[in-house]
Structure 1
Amino acid sequence: MEVSTELVLLIGSFLFFVSMVVGKAGHKFGVPVLLLFLLVGMIFGGDGFGVRFENIQIAQAIGTVCLTVILFSGGLDTKFREIRPVIKPGVILATLGVFITAIITGVFTWWLSEQVYTGMGVGFLTAMLLASTVSSTDSASVFGILRSKGLILKNNLRPLLELESGSNDPLAYMLTVTFISIIHSGNNPNYVMVAANIVIQLVVGALLGYFLGKFAVVIINRIRMDNTSLYPVLLLITGIFIFAATYYLKGNGYLAVYIAGLVIGNSKFAHKRTSMSFMDGFAWMSQILLFLTLGLLVNPSELVPVLIPGILIALFMIFIARPITVYLCLIPFRKISFREKAYISWVGLRGAVPIIFAILPLAAGVPGARTIFNIVFVITIVSLLYQGTSLPIVAKWLGLAEKPGNYKSFEDFDVEFSEEIKSAMTEISITEETLKHGRNLMEMPLPDKTLAVMVKRGERFFVPTGQTALQDGDKLLVISDDEEALKETYKNIGISNFTYQKNN
């Protein structure tokens, strides 16, 4: 049956809307929104409401584009000053850690297939292929869950986890492609060429990501466009171009686009704030599209035969493979405590990336590819459900969670400064209690280095003077270069429960 474009748009927009509503409700109850996006896709899929999506090539294309955007945005949001202290352990986890995880998980999967679930029909190479698809932590899941839950971690744990998840996908991709090639080549693969190809792709990807990122900053700053709304679009196109160009130059595009994001995000360029906000929103839209697509692609009825082995592999990875990997990789780093290593082990989230990589064997026609795909899907659900929901609890249990700051987005003032300007801002609701200190602005007990810059009265905004008479119901925008001064401001006017917006 021919499906019209209008019907695709109708169904697609409806699924997006349902996903966002469900995601908002799930966040309130501590359920990872990414898992809910998956479940929405499954509910509306072939075994649910009958939306059939079985085109592997389109799914692979969607996955590639969405993962590119997510990695690029993740790189843009990562600050060099935050990851500099953790570059060495992060890189080791993202490289050696992926190898160790793949080997340990692959051997266990092969043993499980040979000794316990003989009906799975998973040989050694197939088991290693399956393990390769799930060998990296998922950037979308780690970025999404850590940031959406507002989890504040001690001792540079968050930048370490985000650096690992953002940079370990390329190697997992290379391992997946390599084992697909080995399986297709038969009994005489050239392992030396395979290893050399992996190294070359990673080196080329890293170099192209760095230099193309530097070049992109120059281009963005030199182009003068009358329509400033095109700058965010230019940034998006730049990321996609870097990924595609690196692919055709025989490098690893995923690594290149993440490093390019790091370079661009830590540089000054025109309309940076607007462009970064656009990319953040586009990355979230990509995550929704990605998880919806993958949810539609799976048939829940096909998961039943592999449910138990999938759960066993997932639990093995959570409690054995991931901890062994983390502790082996971090042996040289004695400053990282046992509790911190335990938490790093726990944040071994699997999500959309393993499922995307599991599509590659399907597209390549690898024997047993559907079994691999279904097992990986089960592993992802277990990881998101078991680990994703418990990140804040485990962090508090290990004593690694800090009390969140009183940061809050403004409700009445849409004000932003360049990130080079260090400031802290707050909006104060004027009440009769506040006015006891004086009705004129000059009578307000504001500390030094603190300035009231704007008043909102009803729907009207105006810049106040010292003689401005404040009224009950006014909203006052206050700015300072010192967070302590803002706290003192609240204390002086008798407000104990305060929030403020920090400009980093």
Structure 2
Amino acid sequence: MTHLADNIILVLAALMLVGVLSTKFSTRFGMPALVLFIAAGMVLSRFVFFNNASLTQVAGIFALIVILFEGGMQTSMKDIRPIIAPALSLATVGVLLTTAIVGIFARLVLDVPWAESLLFGAIVGSTDAAAVFSVLGGKNIDKRLTSTLEAESGSNDPMAVFLTVSLIEWIQHPNTAVWSLMLSFIWEMGIGLFMGIAVGKLAVYLINRINLDSTGLYPVMAIGFAVLTYGLAVTVHSSGLLAVYIMGLTLGNSELMYHRTIMNFNHGFAWMMQIAMFTLLGLLVFPDELTEIAWQGLLLSVILMLVARPVGVFLSLLFSRFSLREKTLISWAGLRGAVPIVLATYPLLAGLPQGQLFFNVVFFVVLTSAVIQGTTISPLASRLKLVGKDDAQPSLMELVALGKTDSEFNHIAIDKHMPIAGMQIAQMGLPDDILFTAIIRNKSIVTPHGSTVIEPGDTVYVLSPKSKRDEMRSIFRSGKGKAAESNIPMV
């Protein structure tokens, strides 16, 4: 048992490292990273037998909570307010139209009853924000377009979930009244919206007023509130995913302590959950079964990309101010990702006769959408002349953290035995390109000046070129810019 656990831990470590490194590959070739994570899971399925759809669904929902929460926190209300109407139209009318069109063709291609064919359409009805922005993130696309895609992706998932669950209920209980489903939709969306705002306001209040022993606990607290939001929402039979997205939107647009710390943690955690989720989903698929439905999957994928999505976009944006070129890009940027595959586990767990068929076809549709659309979105945006010169200046911390500059930050704890302890900064003879940017002293920030005295116990923040790392360290060893044998405690 111990040997098995050690092997599992080793495989998980390899998956995380490969997942992180694969993001560079996906950025370079314009392919969503989810393709590589899924491929890793499919390769592992050759060696590990895994068919636990229930565990996969739970892991998928938890991952979606984290991803939607992070997406909500990154969304600026200032950016989405002007495009809220077209985004909501895409998330509702667009999803309904996509469901209907794909459902019609699924009836012919898969030879299933109408209710099941519409269920398939609902499962593939929503887009994936993570997939879209992993491709468009490096392009300077018009902010109105990116905000529309972001708002649509965050709000169309609840619509797809509602349609999927409602159609499964309708299949299992054909006597279900349509009006009761409509009332259920109003309840789910309305209460989900209220729950997201309410818990979001409560989270902001508590995070800003509670004093925790470690700043690292604040991101954990924020994630805890996101999971709580989902739990409370589904307990009262409302849309948990919508509630989580709105809760993240509330936090991200409020005055929040440790906002940057929470954002950075969420970003990394969301990536980790994507790696885990897509790997699990890849494990749930057997490659041999995909070859059996290849032509059906490819045909339905083409119909989704070239017919259903464009019709849904153009009709739902009929009265919007988007140009033909912009609508074309929005149509092609409707990548499918996590949500359709997670929703495909619902028919499996419900015991529907076509459950396994739907899961395999949906899986094929998502893969082809990610590969074909993912690798062509950026060239299409350039061809449509919707890509401009990026004039936005990144922040200093972003440049350093992302490795896009030749400089680096070091923070150094000052020991009483260091020669510079007790010296003024002006007396050190620092080179022009080595700068003291801040000093932490007795839990307070001291702005460094030439007359500032470096005291034992200080933590000094230094900005210097990477090429002068040794010279920078030598200053702290000798106080005169020459290297000595002692080590500097770098923290």
Deviation at 1:144, TM superposition (A): 3.0
Q: Which residue of 2 aligns with 1:299?
A: 286
2:297 maps to what in 1?
A: 310
C-alpha spacing 1:199/1:453, structure 2 compared with 1 (3 Å): same
2:164 aligns with 176
| Residues 37-436 of structure 1: pairs in structure 2 closer than 5 A | 37-46=37-46, 50-114=47-111, 122-147=112-137, 150-185=138-173, 187-333=174-320, 335-405=321-391, 407=393
Unaligned runs of 5+ in 1: 115-121, 417-424, 430-440, 445-451, 456-461, 476-504
1:15 aligned residue: 15
Q: What is the 5 A alignment of 1:444-463? A: 454=437
SS in 2 for 1:387: helix
C-alpha distance after superposition, 1:445-490 (max 9, x if no partner):
xxxxxxx7649xxxxxx95759xxx999659xxxxxxxxxxxxxxx
Contact 2:27 2:134 in 1 (8 A): no
Contact 1:32–1:384 (CA under 8 A) maintained in structure 2: yes
User: Residue 68 of structure 1: CA displacement?
Assistant: 0.7
Q: Secondary structure at the match of 2:293?
A: helix
Cα 1:33–1:332 change in 2 (3 A) is: same
Q: What is the distance in 1 between the residues matched to 2:14 and 2:360?
A: 26
CA deviations over 1:138-191 (Å, ceiling 9, x no partner): 1332243333xx121125110110110111000100100111111111x42222
Aligned in 2, Cα 1:413/1:82: closer, same or farther, shift over 3 Å?
A: closer
What is the root-mean-square deviation of aligned Cα atoms in Å? Answer: 3.1
Whether the 8 Å contact between 1:113 and 1:123 is mirrored in structure 2 is no
Deviation at 1:26, TM superposition (A): 3.7
Alpha-carbon displacement from aligned partner over 1:203-224 (angstroms, at most 9, x marks no partner) = 1101111111111111111211
Per-residue deviation at 1:390? 1.1
SS at match of 1:54: coil
* Deviation per residue, 1:64-93 (Å, 9 max, x gap): 100110000000010111111111101111
Q: Is the 8 A contact 1:89 1:330 kept in 2?
A: yes
> Do 2:129 and 2:149's aligned partners in 1 also have CA atoms closer than 8 Å?
no
Q: Which of 253-262 and 209-218 deviates more?
A: 209-218
Do the aligned partners of residues 231 and 127 (structure 1) sit closer, same or farther apart at CA in structure 2, a change above 3 Å counting? same
- Offset of 1:12 from its aligned partner? 1.9
1:277 Cα offset (Å): 0.5
- How many pairs are equivalent? 429
- Residue 406 of structure 1 and its aligned partner are, at CA, apart by 6.9
CA offsets per residue over residues 188-247 of structure 1, 9 Å max, x none? Answer: 222211221122111110111111111111111121112221111101111111011111
Q: Distance in 2 between matches of 1:177 and 1:106?
A: 15
Contact 2:41 2:282 in 1 (8 A): yes
Structure 1 104/428 Cα, relative in aligned 2: closer, same or farther at 3 Å? Answer: same
Q: Which residue of 1 aligns with 2:444?
A: none
Among all aligned residue pairs of Structure 1 and Structure 2, give the percentage whose two residues are the same amino acid: 37
Q: Partners in 1 of 2:132 and 2:405 — Cα distance?
A: 30
Within 2, Cα distance between the matches of 1:10 and 1:415?
28
> What amino acid sits opposite 2:354 in the alignment?
G
Distance in 2 (alpha carbons) for counterparts of 1:303 and 1:102:
23
* Preserved contact between residue 106 and residue 117 of structure 2 (Cα < 8 Å): yes
CA contact (8 A) 2:407 2:464 kept: no
State the TM-score, normalized to the length of structure 1. Answer: 0.79
Is the Cα–Cα contact under 8 Å of residues 74 and 143 in structure 1 kept in the other structure? Answer: no
Cα distance in structure 2, aligned partners of 1:409 and 1:385: 33
**Contact 2:87–2:149 (8 Å) recurs in 1:** yes
Letter in 2 for 1:66: A
> For structure 1, which segment, 69-78 or 34-43, has the greater mean C-alpha deviation from structure 2 after superposition?
34-43
- Mapped to 1, the partners of 2:188 and 2:368 lie a distance apart of 32
Distance 1:426 1:22 in 2: 22
Aligned AA (2:69): F
Measured in 1, the distance between the counterparts of 2:18 and 2:356 equals 28
Q: Is the 8 A contact 1:23 1:37 kept in 2?
A: no
Gaps of 5+ in 2: 409-428, 439-446, 452-462, 470-491
TM score, norm. by length of structure 2:
0.81
